[in-house]
Every structure is written in C-alpha cells, then in structure tokens.
Structure 1
Amino acid sequence: MGTVAALYRYPVKSMLGEAVHSVTVTESGLSGDRTWALLDGTGAVGSAKHPRKWGALLRCRSRVDDAGGVRAVLPDGVDLPVQDPELGLRLSKLMGRQVFVSAEVPEHGRLERAVPEYQGGVPDAVRESAEVDATGETVTTGGVARGTFFDYGRVHLVTTAALTRMREVYPAGDFDARRFRPNLVVDTGARPGFPEDAWLGSRLRVGEALFRVAVPTPRCVVPTLGHDELPPDPGIMRAVAREHRVPVFDLGRLSCLGVYLEVLEAGTVQVGDVITVEAPGA
C-alpha cells in the first residue's frame, strides 16, 4: 500500500528536527525523538502550540550527533549540546524569560494550546473552557502524555495522498509534510485522498517494526506557522478544517491530518521500506 518516503525525529520538543535515512523504533517511539524539552518556572512544557510564548522554538533546530548526544542550533547559528548551561541562557534571551532544557518530564507539566478561530480546531467543550492568558492569547491547558514529552501518540504518520488532496483543496498553500511534523511520511501513490482513515485499528508492518493505527491526528496551529524556509500561512488549517473533520474518540469531529501509531514490535525502519496493512485481529 505504500513505502516510507521520509523519516523525521525532533530531539527537542517543538524545535525543527532532522531527516534520517534509518532509525530504531522502540516502545517509546523513534530513537532520539522528543527526548528533551524546554520548561519554564510556571511548569509549562515548551510547545509551539502556544506561538506567542514558544513560537521562537521553530527558529531553532535539534539533532542527534555522531556520539548519540543531542545538540541545538540557534537562529544565529550557535550550535551547543543540550546539557551546556550556555544554551539555557541563550534560549532564555530568545524567549524573553527564564527557561531551561530538560530530559526530565515534570510530574504536573502543563501543555498550553492556542485556540484557533475555525471550527474543529479543538473540541467544543474545550473551547468553552478556554481562557485568555497574560500574552493575550486564548488558550487551553492540558498535560503531556504520561512520562513523556509527547502530546499523545509516540509515532505520527502522514500520507502523500492526504497532502496531495489538500493541495487540490487549497492550491495556494504549501503542504510540505514538514509543517505537520510527522515521524513517517508514507508514499501512497498519485491518487489523492485520506487512505489512513481506513487503517484505524489496523496493524502496519514497516520494516522490522509493527504498529497499530490508534487515532486520527487532530491538528493545532503549528502547521500554519513558519518552519525553516516555509512561510506562515493561516490558510493551511482553515483548508484542513473545511475538508477533513473526522470523529476523534468522544471529542466530536476535529480537523485532522495524519494518524497516531502505537508501537507493537520494535525494530529498524528505513526510507524505502514497504508498508503492509493487516486488518484488526489478523
């Protein structure tokens, strides 16, 4: 049904990540993915989902070096190990307040999300409970997945078919996969659509690894922001909201692109690996 067209990991949450040709997948997700994050004194976990507080993270890049350590490259080109105290000082200056880089997930870490104006950006019940914070942004507050810096799923997949469909719906938009921060980009051929909708509950064999397709991926404001050379475009998510709102658990119909995966069997995944779908219970 397809092949792996690209693999990405993001060693520091909400920073730009790196493309890799081959990666080990463990029960925790892709090796080196979201192992570090920025924290501040309020208990907030740094996420560009609140652009006014954390959007500058998308001007930074993180990578795993040859020795297995994580490094961050700042907008001015300074390249530092995440453990270097100098990095925290420079990031604090960039963010305009004191922050630090950590590999330890706070027990009660908060994850703040800006509430988009279009319908389907957040569940209606969540929208009703949103509040305006000190930045003037309307936000909701939740937590990260227990014991991790992931919002929910530990592996995120996007298909080329979905991106192709969205280009048809909104030709002015640049639906580069990187806007959606996937781990796996799957080439499903030239036909547009959302084939991943039919995979929910199914198992995917990808190289040596086996996954279960858990749930569609609700989208936030991040795809509309500037990523590296990709300019900001608020029309990106408005187009997704018009075209692809689907049921997510009991939260209603949300704007989704991509799916979250659960890891059933660990193993190595490489660009070019063939992907096969096994029906639920197969």
Structure 2
Amino acid sequence: MPQVSELVRYPVKGCAGDPVSDVELTASGLRHDRRFMVTDEDGLFRTQRGSPSLARVHPEVSSGGERLTLRAEGVEPLHLSVDTGLPRRDVTLHGVNYRGIDQGDAVAEWFSEVIGARSRLVCVPPEHERTTDGLTPGSAAYADSGPLLVVSESTLDSLNARLAARGEAELPMDRFRPNVVVSGWDEPHLEDLARRVTIGEAELGYAKLAKRCGVTRVDQETGIKAGPEPIRTLADYRTSPTRTGVFLGSKFAVLRAGKLSLGDEVVVGSWGESEL
C-alpha cells in the first residue's frame, strides 16, 4: 500500500528540515513551511546555491508559530519571539518582489555569523498573497515554485542504482528536500503521473515537475557542496525536450486542506502523462 513515510517542513527557507509525525496542510503547504527567509541586507533571498552553510541551521518552530529556535554547531542557540508587528521590508525571491517582516538585529547577527555574510531574517506577513503556477495553480509562502514537493522512495532508489553503477555514492532523501515522501510505489516517478491525490484529510493537485539545481549537490549534514552529482546522472535520463534543466519529484497544489500523518495511505484518484 502506498503510504507517507516521511513528512518534513522547512521553517526557514534554505535551512535544515524539521521532520514531523503529523502536521496540518494549509492552502500554502505544510504549516510553517518556508514561513521565514534569510536575505542579504538588500532583501535578496539567500539560498544554499550561494550559501550552502544554511544547511547547518536547524530551526524549530512552536505549534502556534510564536517561537522560533535556531541551532547550528559552534554557535549558541537563538530563541526568537516572532513579532508580526515589526516593520515590513521589500524582499526579492526569484526576481519577484514581496514583503517580509524583519525580525530584528539579534537574529540578523546570528545568521550573519553562521553564514559569514551580512544577513537579515524575515517572516511572511499575514497579508502575503502569492499564486504559484503549473497544471494546478496554488499558493505558497517563500517556497521556490509550489506549496508541496512530493518524492517517492522508488524514485530515489532508481537514481541511486544509476549512481552505484557509475561508482558514485548513493544519496539520502534529504538532498532533494521533499515535504512528503511516499513508500510502496513499485515504479519510480509515479509522482510525475499522479494528477489528483488524497492523503489523510487532504487532497492534492499536480502542478509540475520539480526542476533540480545545485542545492542537490550540498551535503545537508555538513553544509558543504562538492562534486557533480546528482545533476550529472539526472542529466542522463531526467531531461525534457522542451525545457531546460533536470527534474526529480513533483510539485503539488492543495485542493483540500487537512491533517497529514506518517502512515497515511496515498490514494491516486486520476493519472496523466509525464511531462518528460
């Protein structure tokens, strides 16, 4: 039976994931997912592509979202009281301007020390509105291009078999930073074909394939980027004749919100053709 084997939210965009056993799925993704974002002093978002040490930061957010705890090896933990009444500032995410609530100098100094570059931390304001594209449009906080990323274990197994065949080390699932991991699908890449999916109380609609970038080359434990994998191997079999880049996993929009839990059955209501 296909079921949910992992649920992971990423409270701070680009930082380590926070695995959970159950979580509310909102219209904009897992509750508190990418609710916070690190920027430079001009408001441009930071990513592991340019700041791989973000992976060393382990955030924990309280259930109500009023407290954020940040931990990283070699520095003292920081406990932040989230304040949505602080000044708004302009932020830029993939060339699009949004607003963010600056969380003050103390957390800015903390991130600046960890990353080694002057940084600020912003929070999604309550008035935030953002529509994501794809076959099923959705909404998102500061996620790259869709509210929910789904990857199956069989998809990763297929990649790892190819890596092993060329003498490369297998990669863990966290390299791909999914929100929902599905076990029990016999074939890889079925997340590419699922068009309507019910999990627990929630219903998802397929949006698009997940385009993969250099973040997949960052060791999520050490925050160090090295080597060409998995981009090199994905280029052998996960490319599109009409789109640039390589693809693994799929983005989904939220059709019906609800609670998700580990072990929930993954029921596909309709299937479609792969975009590759």
TM-score for both structures, normalised by structure 1: 0.75
**Distance in 2 of aligned mates of 1:277 and 1:93:** 46
The residue that corresponds to 2:16 in the other structure is 16
Check the 8 A contact 1:40/1:99 in 2, yes or no.
Answer: yes
RMSD: 2.5
| Paired residues of 1:10 and 1:34 also in contact (CA < 8 A) | yes
- State the shift of 1:174 in Å: 2.5
Q: Given the superposition, is the C-alpha separation of residues 263 and 66 from structure 1 closer, same or farther in structure 2, using an over 3 Å criterion? A: closer
**Counterpart amino acid of residue 74 in structure 1:** A
- CA 1:4–1:230: 2 relative to 1, 3 Å: farther
Runs of 4+ in 1 over 6 A off after TM superposition: none
Question: Counterpart of 2:79?
Answer: 81
Aligned to 2:95: none
> Are 1:93 and 2:113 matched, yes or no?
yes
Could you tell me which residue of structure 2 aligns to residue 44 of structure 1? 44
| SS class of match (2:250) | strand
Please tell me the residue identity of whatever aligns with 1:272: G
Distance 1:246 1:266 in 2: 32
1-side partners of 2:240 and 2:12: how far apart? 30
1:257 aligns with 2:248: yes
Question: CA separation in 1, counterparts of 2:268 and 2:182?
Answer: 12
Q: Tell me the equivalent position of 2:93.
A: none
Q: Does 1:167 align with 2:160?
A: yes
Q: Pick from 38, 44, 61: which aligns with 1:64?
A: 61
Tell me, yes or no, if the aligned pair for 1:226 and 1:233 is still in contact at 8 Å: no
Quickly say closer, same or farther: Cα 1:82–1:55, change in 2 above 3 A.
farther
SS of match in other structure, 1:269? strand
Query: Using a 3 Å threshold, how does the CA distance of structure 1 residues 62 and 47 change in structure 2: closer, same or farther?
Result: same
1 CA distance for matches of 2:207 and 2:250? 7
Query: Structure 2 CA distance, aligned partners of 1:19 and 1:272?
Result: 14
- Post-superposition offset of 1:215: 0.5
SS at 1:246's partner residue?
A: coil
- Is 1:246 the counterpart of 2:246 in the alignment? no
- Could you tell me how far apart the structure 2 residues matched to 1:236 and 1:280 are? 28
Amino acid at match of 1:61: H
More strand by percentage: 2
2:188 to 189, 193, 200: 193
Give the partner amino acid of 2:235: A
Counterpart position of 1:213: 206
Say if 1:245 and 1:256, in contact at 8 Å, map to a contact too.
yes
Structure 1 position 175, deviation (Å): 2.4
Residue number in structure 2 paired with 1:117 = none
CA distance in 1, matches of 2:202, 2:140: 22
Name the residue aligned to 1:237. Answer: 231
1:192, distance to aligned residue in structure 2 (A): 4.6
C-alpha deviation, 1:48, in angstroms: 1.1
User: Any idea what SS the aligned residue of 1:166 has?
Assistant: helix
| In structure 1, distance between residues paired with 2:5 and 2:148 | 15
- 2:29 and 2:140 in contact (8 A); partners too: no
1:274 to 265, 270, 274: 265
Q: Structure 2 CA distance, aligned partners of 1:230 and 1:45? A: 18
Residues 15 and 59 in structure 2, CA contact (< 8 A), matched pair in contact too:
yes
Please state how far the C-alpha of 1:154 moved relative to its aligned partner.
0.8
Find the residue that maps to 1:215 and give its secondary structure. strand
The answer for unaligned runs of 5 or more in structure 2 is 82-103, 126-137
Contact 1:2 1:275 in 2 (8 A): yes
Q: Which runs of 5+ in 1 are unaligned?
A: 106-144
1:67 positional shift: 5.9
